[in-house]
Structure 1
């Protein structure tokens, strides 16, 4: 997408610049041609496709939870009641529904604070604590604190369970390369470890709920079925057909590159836009060394305690001087980076 910036000879001359999608109109205005945008021309397919895959995922997670509860009960030599199966299915379906809801919210423009809170709630720590509380309140009437602590600790190996996207991210040309479901096979081992950690932590707090072998096996069963769910939805999401007119079609819609209408502004407005972007970028990159200085100050403080104990005050002073010199060099370099990025984003208009 190369275009030129030109101006006719009947007005003030302007040099031709090879970068950017901008050209100057004879009247002294600047026409900004935005880059092509990837547009879904069949949005109804997104609603249908995403909803169908989300329902399949929730159903598979419910089955995985029920199967894991059945295996755990059998290996603990306990009676597999209807309540046990229902609680397993409820936990699995709740987990899948939360990840789907998080993805839907991520596709929309929501408040940053709400987005951060949602990310914390739908992390493995929030989900594990929520599921244990949900099941504990239904079965026991009140969830013991020991089980919540065990769930939070077990959330560490279960982090990858919450790394889930039903719709793969497309590149600028509308193509999809989605192979995350292949790596999800490691969920089998991670979930087995999570079940073991949960049972171990509960036992350490004098509240044994399962033998370790049963908890590990139940986690492995859950991880196996959830991986199958990810494989099924991932393969369907990867199916893509390229039409003769260059459009790409998949279960989420039909995508094509659309050229937006040009935007006409005056030269003064364009120069103001350029200066604004340049100011923001230079300010951002100029403040980067300050953040590094704070980090290095904390590091120096920690190292200073160690060096002081070891009688290495000279080495500490030398390290401090090197950090100050590095900060001065980085401040100038990072400001130059901000200026160069601003020039690339908003090509400069240079008069003769």
Structure 2
């Protein structure tokens, strides 16, 4: 029996697949990750990163050049004001020397900031800190100007400069790039306090002239020295205000924040993988370091005691027998402590062996064919993995 349909049915033909297309949809290669068996995947949390580090170089350089130019002008202005206050003509040599002094001061503070950005060793950092402090800069400037004008620098001027460095200390508190505080917040309005430089520099000029005059070297009257210091402080305040306002300019969007020092975006770091062998090597290196440190302490103490036993009797002949007896007892005590320390270190090594086999609290087994579970299913969560990585580091 035939059946007829009242309404026609429209049949849509299937789309013909091109030769270049595959019947199976391919996965992008960057999304494929091969996790070796017995490894731990550590995924660090998102972090803020400067994606345009070249801006740090030319941005810092631009503000540094601007600061150097402003300090050169401040030194020249201070020399002019000081010469006029003492009733002397303003010569080109005096202005040039004042500009050189301003450049030297700004160059020292800028060099210090560049050195501190490179994370050098503690000894060199402390040396640079002393040289770029108010005492180091004042002594350097007086020595430089004295050698250029007098051929040598009198001791009285150096002493006066060191005394004047106390009120001039705010001049050395200078950061071209704003630094964050302990809580990570950046104070972009720190330059406002630089207006106090006008007063501190005026006091510094007065103290320098008064101290030099008290030692028999009257180099300037007190009002002229104060006026020159105030002129220098006013222009340096303008320099800090200008560079501070430029550093405050920020452009914020939904995904990034940009300023003169770079473009800051939130990025997700690539995951890290660590095997049992790598973890064991890390633990062994840490244990070896502390073992050597603990084993070295009794030996150092023993050498110090022996050195004292040899030196002190020569200095104290009347107590020679008592000192020798006490030193022998101390040496014997240090030897006993060294033996006990070696025994304790050996026990620590035996106690740490089981922890190396645990591999971060629990072993990561190989793939199980019966249950169908894989290594990636048994990895630590990202938060726990981050805590584990921090503990290892």
Check whether TM > 0.5. yes
* Structure 2 residue aligned with 1:157: 167
Root-mean-square deviation (CA), in Å? 3.0
Q: Which of residues 160, 166, 191 in structure 2 aligns to 1:181?
A: 191
1:123 aligns with 2:133: yes
Q: Give the one of 82, 85, 104 matched to 1:75.
A: 85
Cα separation, 2, equivalents of 1:347 and 1:42? 31
The alignment partner of 1:257 has SS state of: strand
Q: Which runs of 5+ in 1 are unaligned?
A: 1-24, 284-342
1:31-85 CA distance string (max 9 Å, x none) = 3333434322222222221111111111111111111111111111122111111
Moved more, 251-260 or 49-58: 251-260
**Cα distance between partner residues in 2 of 1:195 and 1:61:** 16
The TM-score normalised by the length of structure 1 is 0.67
Cα distance between partner residues in 1 of 2:87 and 2:143:
24
The counterpart of 1:87, out of the listed 83, 91, 97, is 97
Which residue in the other structure is 1:96 paired with? 106
173 and 114 in structure 1: CA distance in 2 versus 1, 3 angstrom threshold: closer
2:117 counterpart residue number: 107
1:257 paired to 2:257: no
Distance 2:128 2:247 in 1: 25
Q: Indicate whether 1:146 and 2:167 are aligned.
A: no
1:247 paired with 2:253, answer: no
Q: What SS is found at the alignment partner of 2:242?
A: helix
In structure 2, the residue corresponding to 1:248 is in which secondary structure?
Answer: strand
**Paired residue total:** 261
* Residues in 2 aligned to 1:73 and 1:171: alpha-carbon distance in whole angstroms: 42
Q: Which of the two has higher C-alpha Rg?
A: 2
Distance 1:149 1:96 in 2: 22
Q: Tell me the alpha carbon deviations over residues 97-144 of structure 1, each in whole angstroms, 9 at most, x when there is no partner.
A: 111111111111323222211111111110110011111111111111
Counterpart in the other structure of 1:210: 220
CA, structure 1 residues 173+48, in 2 after alignment: closer, same or farther (shift >3 Å)?
Answer: farther
CA distance in 2: counterparts of 1:257 and 1:171, whole angstroms: 21
- Please name the residue that 2:243 is paired with: 233
Q: Does 1:192 align with 2:202?
A: yes
Paired residue secondary structure (2:176): coil
**1:49 lines up with 2:54 in the alignment:** no
